[in-house]
Amino acid sequence: MASGDVIEIIGLIAAALTTSGFVPQVYKTWRTRDVGGLSFWMYLALFSGTVLWLIYGIYTESRPIILANIVASTLTFIMLVFIFIGKFRR
């Protein structure tokens, strides 16, 4: 296996691990509908960062960065929607 392949695999594993960390928060928020302790501005900054990482990944043709940030930006966008809707339902 070439060293580039090993680095690609490491990147994909890292992407899977860091991105999967968002799933429990999205699920808990969806299930409880409780957004009281969540920061809209933090999720907005996180969403903006993941979109910029996605652009960077596309530009550098890095599959791990592209895949991780497609998932991460989708999950953070969902959280933003939950927060936005939840804050205005009170």
Q: Are 78 and 52 in contact (CB under 8 A)?
A: no
Architecture of domain 3-89: Up-down Bundle (1.20)
CA separation for the pair 55, 65 (Å, rounded): 9
Q: How confident is the model at residue 88 (pLDDT cuts 50, 70, 90)?
A: low
Mean pLDDT, to the nearest integer, of 82-86? Answer: 90
Token pair of 33, please?
């509908």
Rounded CA separation 8/16 (Å): 12
Q: What is the pLDDT of residues 22-71, one digit of tens each?
A: 899 999 999 998 998 999 999 999 999 999 999 999 999 999 999 999 99
Is the predicted pLDDT of residue 83 greater than 90, yes or no?
yes
**Domain-wise residue ranges, the chain:** 3-89
Measured on CA atoms in the order 2, 67, 69, 51, is the torsion positive or negative?
positive
State the pLDDT confidence band at 90, using cuts at 50, 70 and 90.
Answer: low
